[in-house]
Structure 1
Amino acid sequence: MILEEIWEKSLSKIEEKIGTSIFELWIKPIKPVQLKEQQFTLEVPNRFFKEWIEDYYPTLIIEILEGLLGHAVTLKYRVAEKQAAEIKRIEAKLESRKTRLASRGIYLNPRYTFENFISGQSNQFAQAAAKAVAETPGKVYNPLFIYGGVGLGKTHLLSAIGNSVIDSKQDYTVLYVSSEQFTNEVVSAVRHGKTEELKKKYRNVDLLLIDDIQFVENKMATQEELFYTINTLYEKQKQIVISSDRPPKEIKTITDRLRSRFSMGLIADIQPPEYETRVAIIHKKSDMERLGLKEDVVNFIAAKVKTNIRELEGCLIRLGAQAALTGSP
């Protein structure tokens, strides 16, 4: 298949997954540039498109491309607009770190750190617990179970723990995985007789970060493997951090013994951010993106978008993307 044909087929599959309105706004403007040595290069109109895709659908495009091509690919974005030197330098540094970590099998978002996590009454307990775990992994709060609604910062905290440990304990083996990916790996290992390889991969790490654990509901083989993985790591005093959209007692159709393992450390919840925290988040994001929002605009967004942080940040990225495309402030 030629480059354009591959991308056209990818687009139809992406639209099926995310819906027409999001597809039209964020995906349709992207252009394929090159496929060389298993690296697929895409051109995005400006940096906000790249950031939005990496935040909301970090693996979607790669998974679809790999399904069409039948082999692993890496994804590279080329920004069409001219960028300020400082922004370009920061972006290059983040991209370099991301590539470096990926080469070690660690797929963490380098943007998600403790330094840019805004703390407020709604999340300060979870943040404090995450920091304690990052400083002394395996010694306190094991496992750490963080729960809260969609877009409240659970993935940010998991990634911040991972990024912090990677920087401070360079000999540590860190693994970040979604429960969906873990399930896929369990299914594949059973099908191809590679369960020992799976055990070796997951039971010999110093820090295991599992995102969205609620998706192991009804998946008994996955639950069995997860139970023994957690047991093994706990006995070795290796750190486990788990996120979910609900507390362990509300995750249905999981075994009692697995629920017990989820609950044997510390359970920390994240609530929707209060107004003051929303204002602080908007200011921080605006500064990071060089948006220069006026105070009345900040207050307006904080008053209107109340549900979660992801919506707040999505709103700012859309503002930035629109301003960059139209040339208006």
Structure 2
Amino acid sequence: MTTAQLWKTVLSDLEVSLSHGNFMTWMAPTHLVRVQQVDVGRQIVEIACSSAYHKQFIEERYVGQIKEALDRITKQNNELVLTVASFTAAPSVPISEAAPLFRSEDTFAQLYHDAVLRVRLREDFTFETFAVSSSNEMAHAAAQAVAKSPGRAYNLLYIYGGVGVGKTHLTQAICHVMLKDHPDLSLIYCTGEEFTNEIIEAIRRKETHPFKKKYRSASALFIDDIQFIAGKATVQEEFFHTFNAIQREGGQVVLVSDQPPHAIDGLEDRLRSRFEGGLIIDIQQPNFELRTAILLIKARTLHVTLPIDAAKLISANVESARKLEGFLTRLVSEARLRNQPISEELVRGLLSNLNDREARLRPTARPKEVIHIVAAHFNLKSSILEGPKRLKIYVGPRHLAMYILRMDHHLPLEEIGGLLGGRDHTTVMHAIEKISNELSDSESLRIDLSTIRKKIYG
């Protein structure tokens, strides 16, 4: 019996005992390299796997079954040795001896590229382009653990947080690592809305079996905006069974939401219980340092030079990571249209336009109300900021009020000066420039500004 014939027999034996999805994902892409007799009744069997992850998964879950089948078929005591060698087998067993055994690096890279397109991932959403700070370091560590050991480290990872904090980026980074290790992996990435629409369409067409087979046989399932299925009984019923099927087979589930499980209205208790049994990670809004790092990383991917001072200026004025990316895109376009490098002056101009647009969208607040809120934040009376006194403890709050009235409300410099002690426009300009510069370096000032804006605009 040749090695090819032996492995064909072993795979046929294993196919009977495994689910079709697991067999095609983990057993079919293997190859028997050699069988070496070491003494009477004992031999070494070398089996090639397509990646380190593939090898690890088989070692942890299927070595016993493979050895049992080999021992029974060969009547020998077999010692298994698993190695990594990217090879190409026929798409279904039995494996043809005529099939090319090994893939070139170029072929493997193409398979990964094809997998990224199939799963519909953003090519730039990788761990390499994900900036880490105290606001997301736990989520980053958990995601890396899942990527390295899917189905083992945390077989359910639940990530939640506000808009633009990097949830989708981190989730897709996990997918990239898994697909690099195993391009043929049965991995599904979709949104809660897409999952919902797909099951509704399957029910409408009375073709639910293909839907169930697709999702329940997946080795890894990633669903963004899982809160979308809340309140939809039929969809939750199907997801419950899908979730159980994947977990039962040792697969990986990653869910993303804008809320923790207990806060999702309309979520069935049995699903809430399942979700809370996994690792739940909260991603906070990015702090100043992280926003600056995000900008510098994004600039590198766009192949543009972003001066550090310009990056700090943007970070001090734009808090959402998603808005940062949009602002940087506009900044790059503006610089190219003007045929000039990115500078602080260009950033200030775009920030002024941005704050003007956002001010028109915010609930209106009279200038006097703004001054009152700023004064109250620093435990002062409005009359202090509106008066002539120049004590140091009054100057900072007064300058911050000038900055908000100019940047958020776009009031004329002369009007701002008149409201705050009859100062002239050059004094107001100096105050605004001073606050702009200090925002780049002072965490306490950034916190004060953010807190005051929330009090003013809600």
TM-score (normalizing by structure 1): 0.68
Q: Decide whether the 8 Å contact of 1:210 with 1:242 is kept in 2.
A: yes
Distance in 1 (alpha carbons) for counterparts of 2:111 and 2:169: 15
Distance apart, 1:99 and its partner CA: 10
After superposition, residues 165-244 of structure 1 pair within 5 angstroms as: 165-244=178-257
Cα RMSD for the two superposed structures: 2.0
Say which of 123, 141, 156 aligns to 2:154: 141
Contact 1:119 1:277 in 2 (8 A): yes
Q: Secondary structure, in 3 states, of the residue corresponding to 1:105?
A: helix
Ranges of 4+ aligned residues in structure 1 off by more than 6 Å: 96-99
Aligned residues: 234
Q: What's the CA shift string for 1:184-221, capped at 9, x where partnerless? A: 00100110011111011101111111001111121111
Structure 1: 5+ residue runs without aligned partners? 1-95
Deviation at 1:169, TM superposition (A): 2.3
Identify the range of structure 1 (97-106 vs 256-265) with the bigger mean alpha-carbon deviation.
97-106
- Going from structure 1 to structure 2, the CA distance change for 1:127 and 1:103 (only over 3 Å counts) comes to closer
Equivalent residue number for residue 37 of structure 1: none
2:336 aligned residue (319, 324, 329): 324
Structure 2 residue ranges without an equivalent (≥5): 1-108, 342-458
Deviation at 1:296, TM superposition (A): 2.1
Aligned equivalents of 1:292 and 1:98: distance in 2? Answer: 33
Quote the Cα distance in structure 1 between the aligned partners of 2:158 and 2:327.
29
| Conservation of the 8 A alpha-carbon contact between 1:101 and 1:107 | no
| Matching residue's letter, 1:316 | L
Equivalent position amino acid for 1:267 in 2: I
Structure 1 residue corresponding to 2:295, chosen from 282, 306, 309: 282
Go from structure 1 to structure 2 and tell me whether the alpha carbon gap of 1:167 and 1:102 turns closer, same or farther (over 3 Å shift): closer
Equivalent positions of 1:80-159 (< 5 A) are 100-101=113-114, 105-159=118-172
Instruction: Give the structure with higher Rg (CA).
Output: 2
Which string of whole-angstrom CA distances, capped at 9 and with x for unpartnered residues, describes residues 146-199 of structure 1?
000011111101110101100012342111000000000010011001111101
CA distance in 1, matches of 2:237, 2:118: 24
C-alpha contact 1:98 1:109 (8 A) present in aligned 2: no
SS of aligned partner of 2:280: strand
**1:97 Cα offset (Å):** 7.0
Distance 1:160 1:188, change over 3 A: same
Equivalents in 2 of 1:179, 1:132: separation in Å?
Answer: 24
Between the two structures, name the one with larger relative contact order (CA 8 Å, sep ≥ 6). Answer: 1
In 2, Cα distance between equivalents of 1:262 and 1:98: 33
Task: After superposition, give the CA deviation of every residue in 1:108-132 in whole Å (9 maximum; x if it has no partner).
Answer: 1111001110010000101110100
CA distance in 2, matches of 1:286, 1:171: 33
Write the mapping of 1:298-317 to structure 2, written as runs, cut at 5 A: 298-306=311-319, 308-317=320-329
- Between the aligned partners of 2:156 and 2:146, the Cα distance in structure 1 is 9
| Cα pair 1:176 1:210 within 8 Å, conserved | yes
Sequence identity percentage: 44
CA distance in 2, matches of 1:226, 1:187: 12
Aligned to 1:14: none
1:249 and 2:271 aligned: no
Q: 1:279 Cα deviation (Å)? A: 1.3
Equivalences for residues 36-47 of structure 1 within 5 A? none
Mapped contact 1:143–1:265 kept (Cα < 8 A): yes
Tell me the TM-score normalized by structure 2. Answer: 0.49
SS of equivalent residue, structure 2 residue 239: helix
- Select between 292-301 and 240-249 the one with higher mean Cα deviation: 292-301
